[in-house]
């Protein structure tokens, strides 16, 4: 019995190890590529240094001086080594980060990691899938709001709405949604000023909403 339990435990550990994925982000003057990366809880991200003196700062936003407010904060020491930094993400959420060396962040060296709870299953509803995969954040390098979500099927009956906290509508965009992953970039010149806004997604009779602080 003990031998059987040990074997099952070993298989479980092996299964977890197989499901864990290591993702690569290339870093250089002045970029992280890809700038936006979506992963799953438990995955590793390995930042590779293509050249220069850089770090990975997911603690205090170098451009604003305010905390990123990430689910978990971390920062690496600046280095010119080819292996810049590796981090295992164990908490779901959206992580903003930059290079805090000199004026690198101001020159566009910023990035975002989206960490999802996990993959869908056969019993997941369209609304549950939307709740799990809907992400909204400001992309500093491309000067836009980035909206990402997964859809259960194609739909031409969807839209994105942005309002102020007072409920006043600022933007309303019709969407043609495709089954699978969808992404939409909204340029910030459509947003009147900095502040907190509400991004609503209406998809085929389903609804999800998130607040975003625009700098």
- Domain with 183 in it: what CATH number? 2.60.40.3080
Helix (H/G/I), strand (E/B), else coil: 149: strand
The pLDDT score that the predictor gives to residue 145 is: 87
pLDDT band of 6, cuts 50, 70, 90: very low
- 94 and 155: one domain? no
Last residue of a domain, one of 85, 116, 147: 116
Last residue of a domain, one of 74, 97, 116: 116
The residue to which tokens 């997604």 are assigned: 201
Distance between CA atoms of residues 2 and 202, nearest Å: 53
pLDDT at 9 over 60: no
The pLDDT score that the predictor gives to residue 7 is: 44
The pLDDT score that the predictor gives to residue 154 is: 95
Mean pLDDT of 177-200: 87
Q: Which of 65-69, 72-76, 153-157 has the highest mean pLDDT?
A: 72-76
CB contact at 8 A, 197 and 191: yes
- 60 and 79: one domain? yes
The answer as to whether 10 is a domain residue is no
Distance between CA atoms of residues 8 and 84, nearest Å: 37
pLDDT tens across 21-35, in order?
Answer: 899 999 999 999 998
Helix (H/G/I), strand (E/B), else coil: 4: helix
The answer as to whether 75 is a domain residue is yes
Last residue of a domain, one of 95, 116, 137: 116
Q: Spell out the residues 6+ positions from residue 163 whose beta carbon is closer than 8 angstroms to its own.
A: 169, 170, 197, 198, 200
The answer as to whether 87 is a domain residue is yes
- 85 and 59: one domain? yes
- 133 and 112: one domain? no
What is the residue range of 51's domain? 20-116
pLDDT band of 16, cuts 50, 70, 90: very low
The answer as to whether 208 is a domain residue is yes
pLDDT tens across 73-123, in order?
Answer: 999 999 999 999 999 999 998 999 999 999 999 999 999 999 988 765 667
CATH number of the domain within which 62 lies:
2.60.40.420
- 178 and 103: one domain? no
pLDDT at 178 over 50: yes
- 27 and 112: one domain? yes
83-88, strands of its sheet edge to edge: 31-33, 22-28, 44-49, 83-88
- 76 and 111: one domain? yes
CB contact at 8 A, 48 and 25: yes
Q: Name the average pLDDT for the chain.
A: 86
Domain count, the chain: 2
In 22-165, beta strands by DSSP E: 22-28, 31-33, 36-40, 44-49, 83-88, 93-98, 110-116, 135-139, 144-151, 155-164
- 52 and 27: one domain? yes
- 112 and 130: one domain? no
pTM of the model: 0.69
| Torsions phi, psi for 52 (to 5 deg) | 110, -175
- 134 and 92: one domain? no
pLDDT at 161 over 80: yes
The pLDDT score that the predictor gives to residue 188 is: 79
């Amino acid at each position: 019995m003990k031998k059987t339990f040990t074997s099952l435990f070993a298989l479980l550990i092996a299964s977890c190890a197989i499901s864990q994925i290591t993702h690569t982000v290339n870093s250089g003057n002045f970029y992280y590529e890809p700038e936006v990366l979506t992963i799953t809880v438990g995955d590793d991200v390995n930042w590779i240094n293509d050249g220069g003196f850089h770090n990975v700062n997911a603690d205090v936003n170098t451009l604003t001086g305010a905390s990123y407010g990430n689910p978990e904060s971390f920062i690496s020491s600046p280095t010119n080594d080819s292996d810049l930094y590796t981090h295992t993400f164990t908490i779901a959420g959206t992580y903003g980060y930059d290079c805090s060396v000199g004026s690198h962040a101001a020159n566009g060296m910023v990035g975002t990691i989206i960490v999802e709870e996990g993959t869908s299953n056969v019993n997941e509803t369209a609304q549950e899938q939307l709740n799990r995969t809907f992400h909204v954040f400001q992309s500093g390098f491309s000067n836009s709001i980035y909206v990402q979500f997964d859809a259960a099927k194609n739909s031409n009956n969807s839209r994105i709405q942005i309002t102020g906290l007072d409920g006043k509508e600022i933007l309303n965009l019709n969407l043609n949604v495709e089954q699978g992953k969808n992404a939409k970039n909204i340029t910030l010149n459509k947003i009147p000023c900095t502040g907190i806004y509400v991004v609503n997604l209406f998809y085929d009779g389903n609804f999800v909403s998130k607040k975003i602080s625009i700098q």
